């Protein structure tokens, strides 16, 4: 039988008292979840309660399969998001370069040159974005059906990793912009390129920041 932590002692005592009065497990779980307890901690307390009552630990099934599936979902979500955001950014950079060409470079564009330059990036967006949306919806459905997955270690590690990468991109963009400002090298093209990077990097950061916690925790 696992030993409850100090913060869960009151939870375990409440369950023990409620069960002594004949209250059903379903009502206790619903009541405690409405009071802000996560299902994972409630069921852990129930496991301790029944382990003590029956004199034997509750059998535990390995969560390796679930963890592998969670890792697959979140890695695919992260990879596809990275693919289409980077490709979309490159499309904008190419369009900006065509609209505001560098005067120091020779400008010899053929009618098909723009199409050729953005064809690969557009293909990446067309393929990666729908896959990202599909995986995103799968993850949302899993979380709505099993709110305890918000506490998944795999989910939190991968989400925080994505947050760190997005934050580094946004900070790097800020360093790049301020450095150019100090050197007096700001041009319309430079500002637009920096703005694209800020919007895409900031959007990724806000996306993961918004999804890191359960809705009840965000309220």
pLDDT tens per residue, range 66-112? 677 888 888 999 999 999 999 999 999 989 988 887 665 555 544 45
Domain of residue 21, residue span: 6-54
Question: From CA 112, how far away is CA 105, in angstroms rounded?
Answer: 19
Flag whether 126 is in a domain: yes
Residues 40 and 73 in one domain: no
Residues 86 and 31 in one domain: no
Provide the token pair at 159. 């989400």
Q: Quick: pLDDT tens for 170-209.
A: 899 889 889 988 988 788 888 999 999 999 999 999 988 8
Question: From CA 37, how far away is CA 52, in angstroms rounded?
Answer: 21
Q: What is the DSSP secondary-structure string of 95-119?
A: HHHHHS--TTS-----TTHHHHHHH
Question: From CA 129, how far away is CA 148, in angstroms rounded?
Answer: 28
* pTM over 0.85, yes/no: no
Cβ-based burial of 182 (10 A; exposed 0-12, middle 13-18, buried ≥19): exposed
Give me the number of domains the chain comprises.
Answer: 2
Q: Which residues, 6+ apart, have CB-to-CB distance to 216 below 8 Å?
A: 36
Residues 106 and 28 in one domain: no
Flag whether 195 is in a domain: yes
């Amino acid at each position: 039988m696992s030993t409850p932590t100090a913060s869960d002692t009151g939870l375990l005592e409440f369950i023990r008292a409620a069960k002594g009065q004949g209250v059903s497990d379903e009502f206790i779980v619903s009541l405690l979840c409405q009071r802000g307890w996560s299902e994972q901690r409630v069921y852990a307390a129930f496991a301790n309660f029944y382990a003590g009552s029956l004199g034997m630990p509750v059998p535990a099934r390995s969560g390796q399969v679930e963890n592998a599936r969670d890792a697959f979902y979140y890695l695919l979500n992260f990879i596809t998001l990275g693919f289409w955001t980077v490709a979309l950014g490159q499309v904008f950079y190419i369009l900006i370069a065509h609209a505001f060409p560098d005067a120091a470079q020779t400008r010899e564009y053929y009618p098909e040159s723009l199409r050729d330059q953005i064809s690969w990036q557009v293909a990446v967006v067309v393929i990666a974005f729908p896959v990202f949306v599909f995986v995103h919806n799968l993850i949302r459905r899993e979380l709505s059906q099993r709110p305890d997955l918000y506490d998944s270690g795999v989910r939190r590690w991968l989400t925080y990793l994505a947050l760190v990468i997005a934050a580094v991109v946004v900070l790097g963009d800020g360093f790049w912009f301020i450095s150019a400002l100090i050197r007096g090298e700001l041009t319309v093209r430079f500002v637009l390129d920096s703005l694209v990077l800020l919007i895409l990097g900031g959007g990724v950061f806000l996306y993961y920041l918004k999804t890191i916690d359960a809705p009840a925790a965000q309220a």
